[in-house]
């Protein structure tokens, strides 16, 4: 699976975005260690608070199917229409990634298109993150 293919999956997932309140459409595609891909879109709610980001939708779909090892995630987000910006994951989604991923290895791809993207390690977007390792007594 190339980065371009993963971005393409995220672009397709974005088409399913349920975002009648913000009209900000996000799609994500999560590549698992076993090669499977789980996609997600943002899902909003009239009560606002229960809304879920595309990245967490993808993670929770995977974890709920027993998958716990991940390689990278592609994210495409922009106001309705063409993707005109790089959409970085919100703080809550970065923390969810921290729960399941090695911050030195997990890659976050923010894309405007299959050939226009940037790649970061989780460590760069969540430096000194708090994770499951902190709860273990050294």
> Which positions lie near ligand THU, rule CB under 6 A?
19, 22, 24, 26, 42, 44, 51, 53-55, 77, 89-90, 93
Minimum distance, C-beta of residue 135 to ligand THU, in the bound complex (Å): 25
Q: Among residues 19, 96, 92, which one has the least CA distance to residue 61?
A: 96
- Map residue 40 onto helix, strand or coil: strand
Minimum distance, C-beta of residue 75 to ligand THU, in the bound complex (Å): 7
Catalytic residue among 15, 44, 55, 128: 55
Is-contact 13 27, C-beta < 8 A? yes
Minimum distance, C-beta of residue 27 to ligand THU, in the bound complex (Å): 9
Is-contact 3 117, C-beta < 8 A? yes
> Which helix (H) or strand (E) is 70 found in, with range?
strand 70-79
Residue nearer to ligand THU on the CB measure, 35 or 50: 50
Q: Which residue has the tokens 């088409």?
A: 15
Residue nearer to ligand THU on the CB measure, 31 or 89: 89
Residue nearer to ligand THU on the CB measure, 26 or 37: 26
Query: Can you tell me the distance from the alpha carbon of 66 to that of 85, in angstroms, rounded to the nearest whole number?
Result: 33
Query: Can you tell me the distance from the alpha carbon of 11 to that of 19, in angstroms, rounded to the nearest whole number?
Result: 15
Task: Tell me whether residue 99 is one of the annotated catalytic residues.
Answer: no
Minimum distance, C-beta of residue 130 to ligand THU, in the bound complex (Å): 19
Question: Which residues have a catalytic role annotated?
Answer: 55
């Amino acid at each position: 699976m190339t980065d371009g293919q993963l971005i393409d999956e995220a672009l397709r997932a974005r088409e399913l975005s349920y975002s009648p309140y913000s009209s900000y459409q996000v799609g994500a595609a999560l590549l698992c260690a076993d090669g499977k891909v789980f996609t997600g879109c943002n899902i909003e709610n009239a009560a606002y608070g229960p809304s879920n980001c595309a990245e967490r939708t993808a993670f929770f779909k995977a974890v709920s199917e027993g998958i716990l090892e991940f390689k990278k995630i592609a994210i495409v987000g922009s106001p309705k229409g063409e993707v005109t910006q790089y959409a970085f994951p919100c703080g809550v989604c970065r923390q969810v990634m921290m729960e399941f991923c090695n911050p030195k290895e997990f890659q976050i791809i923010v894309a405007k298109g299959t050939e226009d993207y940037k790649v970061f390690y989780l460590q760069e977007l969540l430096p000194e993150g708090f994770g499951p390792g902190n709860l273990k007594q050294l």
